[in-house]
């Protein structure tokens, strides 16, 4: 918590980021060549990470696989670009950058990783990560990849739910039994 307060204080001393910087992270808004929300498009048939929001109509499963691979590669590049841009701000490291990207910039596949999330990933999804002695940049990315391989484009939101449930501890007893059963079976 003190780390976040320190980062916020450092940011407040800085000149607010300009529109160009913010658009470089998130892209222009709707009507300015940016993305439209699913509710504005109706049922969305565009792939996550498609920078143009173009609708894809592949002719074959091979074309669909190629389109998906290209979209996923673009999403990965975008995730790294956003993180790198945010990490240039004073006091911002990968976890804070991924939090900002997930909660404020619509980067739904960003997974902010700390020791709690690392523990969840090793226990539930990628036991091989237990061999790591510390949370290095490579391990950080592998933990995020473990969530992305399981939950896809919305890995960041799945991370948030699992993280909250993990930390709830004593509060779990206050949750309805049906919800607890759902969480445990998930």
Cite the active site residues: 95
In this structure, what is the dihedral angle of CA atoms 43, 47, 49, 54, given to the nearest 10 degrees?
-80
Give the end-to-end CA distance of the chain in Å, rounded to a whole number.
29
CA gap 91, 6 in Å, rounded:
7
CA gap 114, 109 in Å, rounded:
16
CA gap 83, 169 in Å, rounded:
31
């Amino acid at each position: 918590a003190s780390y976040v307060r320190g980062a916020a204080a450092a940011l407040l001393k800085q000149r607010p980021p300009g529109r160009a910087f913010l658009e470089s992270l998130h892209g222009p808004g709707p009507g300015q060549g940016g993305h439209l929300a699913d509710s504005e498009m109706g049922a969305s048939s565009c792939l996550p990470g498609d920078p143009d929001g173009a609708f894809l109509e592949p002719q074959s499963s091979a074309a669909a696989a190629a389109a998906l691979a290209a979209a996923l590669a673009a999403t990965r590049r975008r995730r790294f670009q956003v993180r790198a841009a945010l990490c240039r701000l004073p006091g911002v490291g990968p976890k804070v950058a991924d939090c900002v990207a997930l909660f404020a910039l619509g980067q739904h596949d960003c997974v902010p990783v700390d020791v709690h999330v690392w523990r969840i990933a090793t226990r539930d999804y990628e036991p091989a990560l237990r061999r790591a002695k510390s949370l290095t940049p490579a391990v950080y990315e592998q933990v995020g990849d473990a969530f992305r391989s399981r939950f896809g484009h919305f890995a960041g939101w799945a991370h948030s739910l699992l993280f909250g449930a993990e930390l709830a501890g004593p509060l779990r007893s206050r949750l309805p039994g049906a919800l607890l059963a759902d969480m445990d079976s998930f």
